[in-house]
Structure 1
């Protein structure tokens, strides 16, 4: 398949999945609007149809809360079936726009970076700045929300409070919590395994924890300070924090273009970067690890998240090269990049975030390597990613050894990031 054919098929997927002002990640499996999915998708729309990128962002921001928080799902009221938990599990949500229904947790804040990149794709400087001006305040509120509402005393790092907030839902990093026997007080129904084989999805034990935490978070009215003493799950996630840092830097770039003061000061960014490296770096693995606030210790599992500082701009070229070369050595013989290193406990090559390759994490690392001038690594990973999609379709994720496409079909962020890799090639 030629690059133009791959591009055409990717665009066709995005157009088919577009509905009611947003692009569903995969209409049967994920029919609503997801936070970081729409951010990745907006990057592609900016290449294909710039006004569609604007609409994708506008629709996502309709679900923003009054304090700037951006939930991981904005529910489409026209979709009554096909995804659980529904909005009934999330009562009393403080949305800005009346009538919106959202979840009560978030996802890695890719949106400011997506808006920055989408703006750069608009050749008319007047149009670009006008759009940036219009969305600047909600993006500023978003970036400032997490330091205000998700930090614990003694650190500027931000905590996630549910595995879904990491975006890597059933990673072995979270086995410390799923093994705790936690169960929700009321029954729940799974819709995902009616669409995708159960062997490729999180287990029922995983879902017991997910729903237990949903209830706990909702019972404490989404207030981190109130539920932190009661939750078994509060983590400084290495990827979430790296993406926040990158988003803050990119939003500062937008602010400079608009003549606005920096949203996060240089001093605060430096303090954050120092805390990130001091708290999350693991010397012997040459990767970053997550930090469990409940045990006050790093979580001893090495995954692709450990490379997140590369995309975040938190490491220099020398450190990034040591990280990526070490990761590649440890997954020799596997497709790139497996979401969990094969030498780690809990690795499963075909189960969701326990080993398979994901295009979004590949893309994040590719762009980070590219910005650091590590173009040989970036180009090789880009070509590997495009070849994987070429051979196996626009799937949700890919078997870590065979490359077989798994999970949802015609997956939007896979299509979207293929578009970006083709329209903005590494070399």
Structure 2
């Protein structure tokens, strides 16, 4: 498929979910009728690749719910308050999500959509909050709820006291109920922002990589030495504390709760390839994305190693391929000049998007759509086939040491 063929399909997808009054796309009008932090950052990136200035409105809307402390909530409610288990605030949730706004700001700027100084200030304050509030003594970032990490039903967290402690016992309704109940274990700041939990605190490899990546991207855009230093410090902590030599992946580190499941081989363990300075670690992890004995599948990387007992290609976060993860893996592959791997990711991601009907996620074995469909973030495949990004250095904010 050519870019010309793909662009109108992606444009129709986003425009059909656009809420002009609120200035953002709803991921899916029925299943996801609100604004989600990293969804809207990805929407902004898609709009930018379409050459549409709604990219700026989407990024502004993403950061508009920022709390006085600096936390950027994972949700802004679309016209009505969501259920009380999302926290004590009236208009937003009280937890956060992967801070993809640093990368989004850089992509938008590279394509001529320069965010306002106010928006860039909000982005920096959001990263400041994470650095100030969510670091362990060892220098890693932690989350206080599964929803903060993005992969909220990860089998890496089966040992955190949820029903379904083993892959064979997993139940999505039971895990969802457990996740909702965990909000009541959170301690909140005076402005409603989540600070700590008595039942779930973990340093996920992927979330740490997302923070380091966005620190580096915003540092590059702003020429901000402090942010760049923070990105380097976090990358070094990830390598020294989370690398699993046996799996050749980065693992998660439990702080409150958890157990051996944090080492389960999921594709999240590849994400630090976005920021590591260790070429051998990056290549060892990235090569697993195309290895059929690990994550390699016909329609993009499976989220769980295909030979692991936890692997279920049909079940939420237990094996399916995810468009935003594919996009980030593609950036990591490009960063390490794995052009063939990046091209394979691009082709399989486009095939998956089309075969699934632009689904939220899909079965990596056959491309069957899963979750909400159509889902706006699946339009990210336009970026994987956009030649302009190849000339802009997106994804190369952290220099690679040979």
Q: TM-score, normalised by structure 2?
A: 0.87
Which one of 142, 164, 185 corresponds to residue 216 of structure 1? 185
Residue aligning to 1:401: 365
CA distance in 1, matches of 2:297, 2:86: 44
Deviations 1:278-322 (A, max 9, x none): 1110001110011111268661211110010122x2244443222
Residue aligning to 2:97: 107
**Contact 2:296–2:302 at 8 Å: present in 1 too?**
no
Residue aligning to 2:382: 419
Residue aligning to 2:85: 89
C-alpha spacing 1:316/1:75, structure 2 compared with 1 (3 Å) = same
C-alpha spacing 1:369/1:142, structure 2 compared with 1 (3 Å) = same
- Structure 1 unaligned spans of 5+: 81-85, 94-99, 183-200
- What is the correspondence of 1:132-211 to structure 2 with a 5 Å cutoff? 132-152=116-136, 154-179=137-162, 203-211=172-180
**Contact 2:88–2:94 at 8 Å: present in 1 too?**
no
Tell me which of the two structures has the higher relative contact order, counting C-alpha pairs closer than 8 angstroms and 6 or more residues apart: 1
C-alpha spacing 1:210/1:2, structure 2 compared with 1 (3 Å) = same
CA distance in 2, matches of 1:426, 1:161: 34
Aligned residue for 1:352, secondary structure, equals coil
**Contact 1:104–1:218 at 8 Å: present in 2 too?**
no
Which one of 239, 262, 284 corresponds to residue 277 of structure 1? 239
CA deviation after TM superposition for structure 1 residue 343, in Å: 2.1
C-alpha spacing 1:403/1:101, structure 2 compared with 1 (3 Å) = same
Residue aligning to 2:253: 291
CA deviation after TM superposition for structure 1 residue 206, in Å: 0.6
C-alpha spacing 1:64/1:332, structure 2 compared with 1 (3 Å) = closer
CA distance in 2, matches of 1:76, 1:264: 32
CA distance in 1, matches of 2:70, 2:220: 20
CA distance in 2, matches of 1:136, 1:59: 13
Deviations 1:139-173 (A, max 9, x none): 11111101211123x22111111111111111111
C-alpha spacing 1:76/1:291, structure 2 compared with 1 (3 Å) = same
CA distance in 1, matches of 2:296, 2:388: 25
CA distance in 1, matches of 2:315, 2:259: 27
C-alpha spacing 1:401/1:305, structure 2 compared with 1 (3 Å) = same
Q: Is 1:116 paired with 2:83?
A: no
CA distance in 2, matches of 1:352, 1:345: 15
**Contact 2:26–2:32 at 8 Å: present in 1 too?**
yes
**Contact 2:46–2:382 at 8 Å: present in 1 too?**
yes
| CA RMSD after TM alignment | 2.5
**Contact 1:309–1:315 at 8 Å: present in 2 too?**
no
C-alpha spacing 1:425/1:339, structure 2 compared with 1 (3 Å) = farther
**Contact 2:185–2:199 at 8 Å: present in 1 too?**
no
Residue aligning to 2:15: 15
Which one of 57, 72, 75 corresponds to residue 73 of structure 1? 75
Residue aligning to 1:188: none
Which one of 210, 227, 230 corresponds to residue 264 of structure 1? 227
C-alpha spacing 1:134/1:202, structure 2 compared with 1 (3 Å) = farther
C-alpha spacing 1:335/1:51, structure 2 compared with 1 (3 Å) = closer
Aligned residue for 1:342, secondary structure, equals coil
**Contact 2:199–2:257 at 8 Å: present in 1 too?**
no
Deviations 1:252-272 (A, max 9, x none): 11222xxxx434252x43332
Which one of 332, 348, 352 corresponds to residue 312 of structure 2? 348
Residue aligning to 1:40: 42
**Contact 1:307–1:323 at 8 Å: present in 2 too?**
yes
Q: TM-score, normalised by structure 1?
A: 0.82
- Structure 2 unaligned spans of 5+: 391-402
**Contact 1:108–1:243 at 8 Å: present in 2 too?**
yes
CA deviation after TM superposition for structure 1 residue 223, in Å: 6.4
Aligned residue for 2:29, secondary structure, equals coil
